[in-house]
């Protein structure tokens, strides 16, 4: 079975994308992993649906499996949960020969990856992403971490998995709102890197969201993984190119933070951020109006929670300045030169960003 390769020299690894892959876990684990002792980490939702399948696939291939079922939701990505996991791993006599397997969405993947990066100074780990966001984004590229009470994703590492196993059929049980949130990142890949992907997704949004065309969805997930693999290959630690993956995220993060991460899903906030940055790209004369007119309907098709919260432009700009991606008080953003072509723009004048935020707020109030 051939995977999409993330080429990083000695740290290279394959991403396997195929319906039914969960049942091939034992076989692939036997091929790639050095030891036979596995800590299988999941959350309650995913665990109740898929833990037994994953576990029996591993046991059939002679693995010894201890499972760890965590509460579902963002608060699980915490130092407290990490501490509890370290304790249980130590008590269960896990050592450096162990492997961590993350079975779940981005929360489980980020936390389990962080545990793998730090337990005994690092043990191998496998990502089995089960949400659309995790299958197309968070499971690839080795960013692992947890939240701190003073901010999201502030504690972490770059630590690559041994392999990534994606089974798109598990998306059948993913709630619709989560599917939209993941689809936002897919549209992002199209906008920043692949016009044909954008056209395919924009033209088949409803069909994809309602899982009416599994083959197309599988192909789209593979395309996203291939794009991310290519970006990570060129810039593993986000010194330059990898920043294009943050398209729409500066304003998106500010909206999430201002609503205390309770109102918007990450992907929903990114939809708003992408609208603002597409508008700004056109205003700055780098994106043709015709392209903007194709992007807008695709982004407007995303259902967002209503009504728009009482947030003003000044508050958004203030949050933007606190973002960890704002370096030395300079606002660095991602613009579009065309559909499928991102442009990194450093030192954006604040008044230009303000204009984009004001346009976005006016659009939301008009709805």
Ligand X SMILES: NC(=O)c1ccc[n+]([C@@H]2O[C@H](COP(=O)([O-])OP(=O)(O)OC[C@H]3O[C@@H](n4cnc5c(N)ncnc54)[C@H](O)[C@@H]3O)[C@@H](O)[C@H]2O)c1
Which residues carry out catalysis? 121, 143, 185, 228, 238, 242, 246, 249, 253, 266
135 part of the interface to ligand X, by CB under 6 A? no
105 part of the interface to ligand X, by CB under 6 A? yes
**Member of 21, 45, 127, 160 binding ligand X (CB under 6 A):** 45
Residues 6+ apart with CB under 8 A from 313: 354, 357, 358, 361
Q: Smallest distance, Å, CB 131 to ligand X?
A: 3
**Member of 26, 106, 161, 273 binding ligand X (CB under 6 A):** 106
219 part of the interface to ligand X, by CB under 6 A? no
Determine the Cα angle at 266 with ends 131 and 194, to 5°: 75
**Member of 39, 133, 320, 333 binding ligand X (CB under 6 A):** 133
E strand or H helix at 206: helix 205-209
Q: Residue ranges of the alpha helices (H) in 61-130?
A: 79-91, 106-118
CA atoms of 290 and 284, how far apart (whole Å): 14
143 part of the interface to ligand X, by CB under 6 A? yes
**Member of 118, 127, 130, 278 binding ligand X (CB under 6 A):** 130
N-to-C CA span, the chain? 48
Rg, the chain, Cα only:
20
107 part of the interface to ligand X, by CB under 6 A? yes
Six-digit token string for 221: 């997930």
Is residue 39 a contact partner of residue 94, using CB atoms and an 8 Å limit?
Answer: yes
* Contact range with ligand X by CB under 6 A, out of 58-66, 81-89, 129-137, 286-294: 129-137
Is residue 302 a contact partner of residue 367, using CB atoms and an 8 Å limit?
Answer: no
Residues 161, 167, 77, 257, CA torsion sign: positive
218 part of the interface to ligand X, by CB under 6 A? no
Residues 6+ apart with CB under 8 A from 281: 287, 292, 335, 336, 337, 343
**Member of 40, 110, 161, 255 binding ligand X (CB under 6 A):** 110
> Between 141 and 273, whose beta carbon lies closer to ligand X?
141
Is residue 38 a contact partner of residue 66, using CB atoms and an 8 Å limit?
Answer: yes
- By residue count, the chain amounts to 367
> Between 272 and 291, whose beta carbon lies closer to ligand X?
272
Site for ligand X in 260-289 (CB under 6 A): 266
Q: Smallest distance, Å, CB 245 to ligand X?
A: 8
> Between 26 and 104, whose beta carbon lies closer to ligand X?
104
Q: Which DSSP string corresponds to 30-60? A: HHH-S-SEEEEEEEHHHHHHHHHHHHHHHHH
CA atoms of 220 and 216, how far apart (whole Å): 6
Is residue 63 a contact partner of residue 38, using CB atoms and an 8 Å limit?
Answer: yes
Binding mask of the shown chain, residues 75 to 104, with x at each position contacting ligand X by CB under 6 A: --x--------------------------x
Site for ligand X in 285-344 (CB under 6 A): none
Q: Smallest distance, Å, CB 103 to ligand X?
A: 9
* Contact range with ligand X by CB under 6 A, out of 19-27, 43-51, 303-311, 350-358: 43-51
CA atoms within 13 A of residue 149's CA, in its CB half-sphere: 1
Size of the site for ligand X (CB under 6 A): 30
Residue of 172, 171, 201, 173 whose CA lies nearest to 274: 201
26 part of the interface to ligand X, by CB under 6 A? no
Binding mask of the shown chain, residues 147 to 186, with x at each position contacting ligand X by CB under 6 A: ------x----------------xx-xx---x--x-----
Task: Look at residue 221 and give its three-state secondary structure.
Answer: helix
**Member of 8, 30, 49, 317 binding ligand X (CB under 6 A):** 49
Six-digit token string for 178: 């989560």
Q: Smallest distance, Å, CB 105 to ligand X?
A: 2
Residues that bind ligand X (CB under 6 A): 43, 45-46, 49, 72-74, 77, 104-108, 110, 130-131, 133-134, 137-138, 141, 143, 153, 170-171, 173-174, 178, 181, 266
């Amino acid at each position: 079975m051939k995977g999409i390769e993330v080429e990083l020299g000695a740290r290279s690894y394959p991403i396997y994308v195929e319906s039914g892959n969960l049942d091939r876990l034992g076989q692939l684990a036997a091929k790639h992993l050095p030891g036979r002792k596995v800590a299988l980490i999941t959350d309650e939702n995913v665990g109740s649906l898929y833990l037994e399948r994953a576990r029996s696939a591993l046991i059939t291939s002679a693995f010894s499996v201890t499972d760890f079922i965590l509460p579902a939701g963002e608060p699980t990505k915490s130092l407290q949960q990490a501490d509890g996991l370290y304790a249980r791993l130590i008590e269960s006599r896990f050592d450096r020969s162990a492997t961590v397997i993350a079975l779940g969405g981005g929360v489980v993947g980020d936390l389990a990856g962080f545990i793998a990066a730090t337990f005994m100074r690092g043990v191998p780990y496998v990502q089995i992403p089960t949400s659309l966001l995790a299958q197309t984004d968070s499971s690839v590229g080795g960013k692992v971490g947890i939240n701190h009470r003073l901010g999201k994703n502030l504690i972490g590492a770059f630590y690559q998995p041994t392999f990534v196993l994606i089974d798109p059929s598990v998306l059948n049980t993913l709630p619709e709102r989560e599917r939209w949130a993941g689809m936002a990142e897919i549209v992002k890949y199209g906008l920043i890197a692949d016009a044909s992907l954008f056209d395919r997704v924009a033209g088949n949004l409803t069909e994809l969201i309602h899982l009416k065309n599994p083959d197309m969805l599988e192909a789209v997930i593979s395309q996203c993984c291939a794009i991310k693999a290519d970006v990570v290959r060129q810039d593993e630690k986000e010194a330059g190119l990898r920043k294009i993956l943050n398209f729409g995220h500066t304003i998106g993060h500010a909206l999430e933070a201002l609503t205390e991460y309770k109102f918007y899903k990450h992907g929903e906030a990114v939809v708003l951020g992408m609208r603002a940055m597409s508008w700004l790209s056109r205003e700055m004369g780098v994106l043709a109006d015709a392209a903007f007119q194709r992007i807008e309907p695709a982004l407007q098709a995303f259902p967002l929670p209503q009504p728009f919260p009482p947030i003003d432009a000044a508050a958004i700009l203030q949050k933007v300045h606190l973002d960890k991606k704002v370096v030395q008080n300079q606002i660095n953003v991602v613009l579009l030169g065309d559909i499928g072509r991102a442009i990194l723009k450093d030192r954006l004048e604040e008044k230009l960003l303000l204009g984009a935020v004001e346009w976005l707020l006016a659009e939301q109030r008009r709805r």
